[in-house]
Structure 1
């Protein structure tokens, strides 16, 4: 009999915003079915005597209490004792990230891991979108200054994003090619995603939630005044939205492809009906926000589709 334990590999709970965090929202829902929640950070996973061991703590979440997260006990846990493991840390996609996926690969056939560690290692959140460029604004992936300069000539206003960053961090808007600044960015980040700026971002973007190959819901996020970043961590405001025929068609195609790639839960973003090129497969966010806006509970859908 497998223990009713859900392990969450994530950022330390003290770094989460409990009122909006999707990991807590998912954990809170599965607790109702008498599952215990074990929480650990990526740095605290090891392979010892051929077992994948994590040092962490059992926690209880309760939205009705002031202190939403209560630590019950600290413990080392053999992750084979879990029914499910959720990989929920923020990228960046770095060597620690890659190493944890290799470790979890060793038990991938015995425990249900969401998202599949092999798949998230193979699917770069930005590079994966290269196959969907016909649905995107003009975009190149490069660290070559001449290629980027040519792209500026053709597109004027350009957004630059490091390909392995996340959450609206290190995103820059340039109105013209600035050799020194861009050279500095390339030195720091390596490959960049360069994209034609879409001024309609001021009306917001749309985040589409994909669960088990199906479009499950969407919210819109409007940047604060004077900003071009819609991420809620950067001050964006969430509102209800509906998808256009075009957005549904593109989302359906990507949802189907992700299911074939063994990705169970993902978030994709649109600006002005164009895919913006972030295919969020590590730690998609926004489920609690959707619930607060509309009372649609996709945490229930998530666990139902997983047959928990």
Structure 2
């Protein structure tokens, strides 16, 4: 019988905020079911004698204590000894990220990995949205200066984002065409995402949670005064909210498509009833915040659906 071990591939717990972190929330929930939690960083993955080995530690989480985690035992673990592996590190999507997915591909038929390593490699968190552009504000993906210039001439106010970043990092709002900034941005990020600015972002976006092909509620995140960034890591304030009929319809469509792609857990975002193009499949966040706002515990939903 498979051991009752859940491995979490993620950033070190000391870098996490237990008040809002979804990885801690998911781990705490399954820990309550008498599972052991093994934690490791992607850089600590190895293939030794055809076995996928991680150097990490067993850990216990406790929300009631100021130091919310305790490292119980450091060790190397053959990851096929686990019941489940959660891929929960922050992007960016880089070569280390890709290498980790290839390593985990070797054992995905022996242990349930969420999200599937092949799938998160194939479902680009920005470029996957190309198929849903009719539900989005006008958006282009390019590194061609003339295309960006024409786009800016049309809309006058444009958001530019890296394709492979996360958490609102390196996002710019262009009120004027700044050739030097854009050239630097392209040199750093290659292809970028350019999107018509939606002023209603000041009222907040909506983060929708998709679990196993189902739409599981949403929260809104309102940017702090003077900001256009709705990420809580950038100071946005979460509030409880309902989806509109349009948002629910689009969410159901994407949830169904992602399930076909073997994506079990994802987060998508709306601004002013338009999909903003971020399809979060590596480490979607917000479940703990939803619980604190509404009392709805979708960590329970996550594990129930996964065990089923």
**TM-score of the superposition, structure 1-length normalised?**
0.99
Q: What residue number does 2:155 align with?
A: 155
In 2, the alpha carbon distance for the partners of 1:18 and 1:152 equals: 40
Gaps of 5+ in 1: none
3-state DSSP of counterpart to 1:177 = coil
RMSD between superposed Cα atoms in Å: 0.6
The superposition leaves residues 234-253 of structure 1 with CA deviations (integer Å, 9 ceiling, x where unpaired) of: 00000000000000000000
Paired position in structure 2 for 1:212: 212
1:180 is aligned to: 180
CA distance in 1, matches of 2:140, 2:66: 47
The size of the alignment, in residue pairs, is 308
Q: How far apart in 1 are the matches of 2:98 and 2:149? A: 32
Give the distance between the partners of 1:258 and 1:5, measured in 2 at CA. 26
Q: Which residue of 2 is the match for residue 189 of structure 1? A: 189
Per-residue deviation, residues 149-205 of structure 1 (Å, max 9, x unmatched): 011111110000000000100000001211111111111111110000000000000
Deviation at 1:101, TM superposition (A): 0.2
Instruction: Determine the C-alpha separation between the residues in 2 that align with 1:155 and 1:254.
Output: 27
Greater CA drift, 55-64 or 175-184: 175-184
Structure-1 residue corresponding to 2:97: 97
Structure 2 residues not aligned, in runs of 5+: none
TM-score, normalisation: structure 2: 0.99
Q: Deviations over 1:9-38 (max 9, x none)?
A: 000111111111000000000011100000
SS in 2 for 1:63: coil
Q: What is the DSSP-based 3-state SS (H/G/I as helix, E as strand, rest coil) of the residue aligned with 1:41? A: strand
* Residue 291, structure 1, aligned to residue 294, structure 2: no
Q: Please report how far the alpha carbon of residue 218 of structure 1 lies from its aligned counterpart in structure 2 after TM superposition.
A: 0.3
Equivalence for 2:114: 114
The match for 2:61 is 61
CA distance in 2: counterparts of 1:105 and 1:187, whole angstroms: 32
Corresponding residue SS for 2:43: helix
Correspondence 1:25 to 2:25: yes
Partner Cα distance (1:207, 1:265) in 2: 13
Matched, 1:254 2:257: no
Aligned equivalents of 1:189, 1:101: Cα separation in 2: 21
Regions of 4+ moved over 4 Å: none
* Match in the other structure for 2:140: 140
Residue 307 of structure 1, CA deviation: 1.2
